[in-house]
A and B are shown apart, each in its own frame.
Chain A
């Protein structure tokens, strides 16, 4: 049971980090042309770069959290899910707001 709880907590926590990462890299790459260029040069396209680094972050962080010893807590799963839901909504609004503002200012 503990192994299942730890696996779930690791994956949900990684998803939370991923949502924050996607919102951050999206805005940062748009504001910093050097970052966008570096993603393009490394991965052939900035969006592929964002996709692959997101997947790598998710898998890597999930594995690291699985290896790090911590006490699994079944109550934390629901809390983490709520945080994931809230941050996904917030990140979506931040990305939409950012591109809307950018389009208005151009």
Chain B
């Protein structure tokens, strides 16, 4: 693996984790009675930007290296389903995350006062951010399984 690919993989993981922490923070902050609008805006912006970066860096690694070098190793192990189910699902549901976090960013920035006064809007935004975090955790766990599958002895 070249240094560029290694960096792409590391940034994919790092930015994905930063995005998860930011959206989880957004979700927790939204649960408060009095909302800190400034931090809601910061967390939603960081979450969106980090997902975007993770998408680009992970996409570069996946499209140029994974299929040629990693996928054949996983398919040759006793657990090929780690690619055929986990990786296939991960690479596609990841595509939801930058767009869902963009929706959260837009709502927070367009309706900061309404989020505080409109309970239904606030609840739906909490659920949206919770969904982003849940999908992010599932994707992270799939990523850990994929990495583990490549490095395990078989």
Contacts and interface: CB of A to CB of B under 8 A. Distances in A.
Please report whether the interface of chain A is mostly helix, strand, loop or mixed according to DSSP: helix
How large, as a class, is the contact surface on chain B? 20 to 34
Given A77-B121, A85-B128, A48 B59 contact: yes
A41 interface: no
A42 interface: no
Interface string B85-127: 1001101110110011011001100110010001011001101
Contact of A100 (B85, B96, B111, B118): B85
A47 B107 CA distance: 29
Given A8-B110, A85-B127, A102-B84, A50 B92 contact: yes
Interface of B: 55, 59, 62-63, 67, 80-81, 84-85, 88-89, 91-93, 95-96, 99-100, 102-103, 106-107, 110-111, 114, 118, 120-121, 124-125, 127-128, 131, 135
A4 B106 CA distance: 10
Nearest to A96: B89
Please report whether the interface of chain B is mostly helix, strand, loop or mixed according to DSSP: helix
B38 to A, nearest CB: 19
B131 A7 contact: no
